[in-house]
């Protein structure tokens, strides 16, 4: 067999590249057959299918990787959580909440997820359906399964997409996606669609493409499965006491909300704290370190992270949901700070790992655990403690600190 690298680029001929892909594609048939996908569907949908090597996140031998651009990781909190943009979406969300009042109420009765959260996810994912999804989903998924960084994951998604087509839930022409293969108004991967799709009108199809109620019901179904707690908030904006140890602002440090209040934490945004919530365990996050708001994060915060792992995404969705219900900005604003370059953050994570402060993925992102590890490094080296990846910490590490 011709090695993949040679098949793709050794001879440089499209014919050989296509032949290698065709062999890979043909090898997917036994798994497709085991899933009950008909041979007719398999042949029809894979005929003429070609990989798209322009996609991000591919691992092609000898070629530089083109990273996928996710706003959560390339924008500052001030830019991502733009008050103007969120205010505009909130106004539109209130209109849509009225338009779909009956359907949203029924979804909340069934799944326990409030309408505002579902509307906020719809807004963030596809701008209430206004975003253009121009990729052929099957081609995207096949390419990622063939030469992507997560081949096994995307093989399952590719087969699930074939299953969706085989069952007639949508046509190939309608199955458009993002560059990562996510489908529909609230952006489901195919396996997620098959698992969480909800047929509200009894027509045999969970229509996440053009039916707003069914797309939002699928989202509610997923959140419930991940542990959404009905009647509970996603987070509380807070102020922390003077001298608060920022290394405690990470998911592993969890206390009942009542205990945080005893330690000087205060609700900052004027929202009422129900007595029943005092027993709820929560952690604290400082998503912009000293340069933005702080939050108490109970269980529902982390359920939203199962939808999208980025903290800025969760803050956007949660805050927009709040604004749909009660149009108030954050109590504390976000400073427009400069982001540390990804390669510098990767270097910091490598140093933190080597020195025993960090045991997570080296990904160049200043997540909660990275920030807590930076704080531990600052403590150990007598640096000002703010758990933030600034130039002072970077320079100290480069000097071999």
* pLDDT band for position 65 (cuts 50, 70, 90): low
- Whole-number Å distance between alpha carbons of 387 and 325: 33
Name residues whose C-beta falls within 8 Å of residue 56's C-beta, 6 or more positions apart in sequence.
66, 67, 68, 69, 179
* pLDDT band for position 10 (cuts 50, 70, 90): very low
Is the pLDDT score of 178 beyond 50? yes
* pLDDT band for position 62 (cuts 50, 70, 90): low
The DSSP code sequence of 75-121 is S-HHHHT-HHHHHHHHHHHHHHHHHTHHHHHHHHHHH---HHHHHHH
- Whole-number Å distance between alpha carbons of 361 and 40: 42
Reference 36, options 206, 194, 189; nearest CA is 194
Domains and CATH numbers, the chain: 21-50+134-183 (no CATH), 70-131+199-335 (1.10.530.10), 342-399 (no CATH)
The DSSP code sequence of 193-211 is HHHH---SSSSS---TTT-
* pLDDT band for position 16 (cuts 50, 70, 90): very low
Cβ count within 10 A of residue 289: 21
Q: What is the mean pLDDT of residues 212-218?
A: 98
Q: Which is more confidently placed, 18 or 261?
A: 261
Using alpha carbons only, what angle is made at residue 146 by residues 10 and 60, rounded to the nearest 5 degrees?
45
Q: What is the mean pLDDT of residues 304-321?
A: 95
Is the pLDDT score of 245 beyond 60? yes
Token reading at 319: 């805050």
- Whole-number Å distance between alpha carbons of 33 and 157: 15
261 contacts 216 by C-beta, under 8 angstroms? no
- Whole-number Å distance between alpha carbons of 117 and 198: 17
Distances in whole angstroms, Cα of residue 399 to Cα of each of 394, 395, 396: 9, 6, 5
71-95 pLDDT, tens per residue?
656 688 999 999 999 999 999 999 9
- pLDDT for the residue numbered 390: 87
Average pLDDT over the chain, rounded to whole? Answer: 91
* pLDDT band for position 197 (cuts 50, 70, 90): very high
Torsion, Cα of 368, 372, 377, 379 (10° steps): 150
* pLDDT band for position 68 (cuts 50, 70, 90): low
136-158 pLDDT, tens per residue?
999 999 999 999 989 999 999 99
Instruction: Put residue 308 in one of left, alpha, beta given phi > 0 → left and psi -120 to 50 → alpha.
Output: beta
- pLDDT for the residue numbered 5: 40
- Proportion of the chain above pLDDT 90, given as a percent: 81
* pLDDT band for position 13 (cuts 50, 70, 90): very low
């Amino acid at each position: 067999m011709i090695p993949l690298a040679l098949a793709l680029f050794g001879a440089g001929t499209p014919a050989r590249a296509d032949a290698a892909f065709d062999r890979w594609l043909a090898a997917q048939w036994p798994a497709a057959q085991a899933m009950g996908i008909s041979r007719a569907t398999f042949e029809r949908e894979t005929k003429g299918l070609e990989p798209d090597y322009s996609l991000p996140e591919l691992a092609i031998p000898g070629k530089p990787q083109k990273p996928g651009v996710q706003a959560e990781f390339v924008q500052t909190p001030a830019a991502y959580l733009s008050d103007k943009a969120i205010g505009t979406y909130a106004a539109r969300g209130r209109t849509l909440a009225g338009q779909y009042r009956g359907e949203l109420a029924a979804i909340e009765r069934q799944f326990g997820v409030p309408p505002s959260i579902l509307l906020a996810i719809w807004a963030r994912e596809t701008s209430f359906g206004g975003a253009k999804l121009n990729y052929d989903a099957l081609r995207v998924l096949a390419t990622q399964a063939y030469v992507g960084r997560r081949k096994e994951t995307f093989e399952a998604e590719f087969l699930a997409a074939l299953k969706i087509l085989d069952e007639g839930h949508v046509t190939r022409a309608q199955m458009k996606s993002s560059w990562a293969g996510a489908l529909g108004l609230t952006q489901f991967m195919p396996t997620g669609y098959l698992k969480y799709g909800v047929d509200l009108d009894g027509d045999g199809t969970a229509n996440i493409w053009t039916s707003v109620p069914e797309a939002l019901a699928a989202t509610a179904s997923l959140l419930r499965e991940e542990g959404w707690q009905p009647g509970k908030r996603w987070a509380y904006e807070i102020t922390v006491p003077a001298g608060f140890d920022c290394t405690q602002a990470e998911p592993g440090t969890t206390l009942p909300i009542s205990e945080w209040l005893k330690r000087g934490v205060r609700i900052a945004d004027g929202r009422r704290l129900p007595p029943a919530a005092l027993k709820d365990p929560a952690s604290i996050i400082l998503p912009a370190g000293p340069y933005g708001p702080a939050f108490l994060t109970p269980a529902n915060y982390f359920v939203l992270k199962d939808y999208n792992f980025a903290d800025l995404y969760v803050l956007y969705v949660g805050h927009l949901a709040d604004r749909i219900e009660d149009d108030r900005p954050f109590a504390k604003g976000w400073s427009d700070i400069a982001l540390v370059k990804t390669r510098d953050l990767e270097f910091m994570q490598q140093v933190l790992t080597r020195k025993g402060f960090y045991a997570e993925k080296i990904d160049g992102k200043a997540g909660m655990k990275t920030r807590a590890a930076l704080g531990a490094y600052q403590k150990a080296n007598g640096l000002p403690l703010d758990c933030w990846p600034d130039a002072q910490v970077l320079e100290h590490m480069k000097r071999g600190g």
